Amino acid sequence: MTYESLGSTEPIEAGDFPEWMLFEFLVRLPYEVLFRLKLVSKEWCRMISDTCFARMYVDRISHSKRWILVSSFAKERPTNQFILNNEGCANWLDLLMLPPHQLGVDRFQNIVVGSSNGFLLYGPRSVFPPWRLLNDYIYEICNPVTGQRIILPPSQHRFELVATGFVTQIEDNVLKSYRVVRVEVHHMDLGSIRLNVYSSETRRWEYHTIHDRINFYRWRNPVTLGRTLHWIIDGYRQLAAYDPYDKPDSVRLIPLPSHDVARADIEFKNVLLDQHQGHLRYVEMSLNSSQGHTMYQHWDHLSVWILNDYDSGSWSLQHSVSGDGLMTTSVPLCFHPLDSNVLYIVNNAALLSYNFGTRELKIEDDSRPGYTNRVPYCLYYFLFVIPPWPVFIDPSLF
């Protein structure tokens, strides 16, 4: 391969670059391009494969990680709906658009149902209602950067409504282990929890029954901390912590901030759970009930809590601010993955961001009508952060 030099017709061979110049050139490239350039020459391949180069590259790109927010519900087309991304990441949208499964019917979509450490969990789901899953539900794990995929066998246990969890274990940029968790969601108190867990080690679905009177909340995706999944429980001010690796037959309950320190007048679609710097973080937007008719009520308070002590379940209040007149359809969507002060909110008119540091409420997108119709469906979102270095699947998992 040759390159034309500026102001000259003489070609420059790949090996003619000084090593320092080549290093500075390669370390600034997106890695989807970088790995193709390993084919240019043995010298380029050696430099790109060098551990020193990898450390420098990861350190550089870690300060400007790319990310994308995708909704798994879209009536307009059988693919995932792009909501938001950081600057310069638009081309990554195409990487997330996988073709639908060939089911032969129009009522089902191939959508994202989970995200973990650079991997996406795909599968078919009914267009309406969006939480209804197929009985012979086929999951597919995909790395949208490398294109590697694993198709899981269908589960034999049939749940009509399902909450899905996805946990991965990464070592030295290699996927070594994973779990896919299906939790039955129901409308009544049945006195037990039914779960279906797929293990990458056994390559089988295992059925578990936990005798506890709780119902997992289907409007929110679980949050992973370590190897444990955390769901908000429907109808209770608690979290359900489930470890599919070490404790697949039990659930730990963690109380949310109590009523005397947190507002009680909330709906569960107006809360958010995420993890930040190794701690769980909980957000709720409370309703001003003195505003008259429900359609014209406003959120008068926005609170953010941090679970400081995981073992004791001790929370501390991090932020407490006025709701700034947001309409009742406002929903906390997610925090900015690189700036913990910025919270994204969706309401009946626009996608907004609120900065807790500057107290600034900003309109991010009001160009697309119909945000009202995407509540609560817009809550089926997945924040995908592109890893600073490609993560590959261990050959033993195929």
Q: Answer whether residue 244 is part of any domain.
A: no
- Residue 368 has a pLDDT of 55
- Residue 342 has a pLDDT of 92
Residue 193 or residue 102, greater confidence? 193
Residues 186 and 92 in one domain: yes
- Residue 95 has a pLDDT of 46
CB under 8 Å to 154, separation ≥6 — which residues? 136, 137, 138
Q: Which domain-ending residue is among 10, 40, 61?
A: 61
Residues 186 and 301 in one domain: no
Residues 46 and 193 in one domain: no
Percent of the chain having pLDDT more than 90? Answer: 25
CB under 8 Å to 60, separation ≥6 — which residues? 27, 28
* Residue 23 confidence class, pLDDT cut points 50, 70, 90: confident
Residue 395 reports pLDDT greater than 90: yes
Alpha-helical regions (H) of 119-276: none
Question: How far, in whole angstroms, is CA 255 from its chain's centroid?
Answer: 23
Q: Answer whether residue 242 is part of any domain.
A: no
- Residue 73 has a pLDDT of 53
Residue 47 reports pLDDT greater than 60: yes
Name the residue type at position 248: P
Residue 87 or residue 257, greater confidence? 257
Extract the tokens encoding 4: 């034309």
* Residue 36 confidence class, pLDDT cut points 50, 70, 90: confident
Q: Do residues 378 and 73 lie in contact, with contact meaning Cβ atoms separated by under 8 Å? A: yes
What is the rounded CA–CA span in Å between residue 272 and residue 268?
A: 9
What is the rounded CA–CA span in Å between residue 339 and residue 360?
A: 14
What is the rounded CA–CA span in Å between residue 93 and residue 90?
A: 6
- What mean pLDDT is predicted for residues 143-152? 86
Q: Answer whether residue 245 is part of any domain.
A: no
Q: Is the C-alpha dihedral spanning 263, 364, 385, 68 positive or negative?
A: positive
- What mean pLDDT is predicted for residues 329-353? 82
- Residue 72 has a pLDDT of 61
**What is the span of the domain harbouring residue 142?**
65-227+380-398
Q: Answer whether residue 241 is part of any domain.
A: no
Residue 13 reports pLDDT greater than 60: no
160-209 pLDDT, tens digit each? 778 889 999 999 889 999 999 998 877 555 678 889 999 999 999 999 99
* Residue 232 confidence class, pLDDT cut points 50, 70, 90: confident
* Residue 75 confidence class, pLDDT cut points 50, 70, 90: very low
- Residue 246 has a pLDDT of 96
* Residue 136 confidence class, pLDDT cut points 50, 70, 90: low
Residues 195 and 278 in one domain: no
Residues 27 and 112 in one domain: no
Residues 97 and 164 in one domain: yes
Q: Helix, strand or coil for residue 219? A: coil
Q: Answer whether residue 165 is part of any domain.
A: yes
Phi, psi of 244 (to 5 degrees): -75, -10
Extract the tokens encoding 180: 């896919």
Name the residue type at position 272: L
Q: Helix, strand or coil for residue 55? A: helix
- What mean pLDDT is predicted for residues 239-260? 88
Residues 296 and 361 in one domain: yes
Name the residue type at position 294: T
Q: Answer whether residue 390 is part of any domain.
A: yes
Residue 109 or residue 54, greater confidence? 54
Q: Which domain-ending residue is among 19, 46, 61?
A: 61
Residue 100 reports pLDDT greater than 60: no
Average model confidence (pLDDT) for the chain?
74
Q: Do residues 397 and 175 lie in contact, with contact meaning Cβ atoms separated by under 8 Å? A: yes
Q: Do residues 372 and 329 lie in contact, with contact meaning Cβ atoms separated by under 8 Å? A: yes
Q: Helix, strand or coil for residue 225? A: strand
CB under 8 Å to 331, separation ≥6 — which residues? 269, 270, 285, 345, 346, 347, 375, 376, 378, 379
Q: Answer whether residue 237 is part of any domain.
A: no
> Picking from 1-5, 18-22, 96-100, 283-287, which range would have the lowest pLDDT averaged per residue?
1-5
Residues 46 and 88 in one domain: no
Residues 69 and 49 in one domain: no
Residues 133 and 262 in one domain: no
* Residue 1 confidence class, pLDDT cut points 50, 70, 90: very low
Residues 214 and 107 in one domain: yes
CA angle, residues 266, 272, 276, in degrees to nearest 5: 145
* Residue 218 confidence class, pLDDT cut points 50, 70, 90: low
> Picking from 76-90, 197-211, 212-226, 324-338, which range would have the lowest pLDDT averaged per residue?
76-90
Residue 260 reports pLDDT greater than 50: no
Q: Do residues 304 and 282 lie in contact, with contact meaning Cβ atoms separated by under 8 Å? A: yes
Q: Do residues 254 and 295 lie in contact, with contact meaning Cβ atoms separated by under 8 Å? A: no
What is the rounded CA–CA span in Å between residue 359 and residue 320?
A: 11
Residue 327 reports pLDDT greater than 70: no
Domain count of the fold of the chain: 3
Extract the tokens encoding 173: 């940029």
Q: Answer whether residue 41 is part of any domain.
A: yes
Residues 54 and 144 in one domain: no
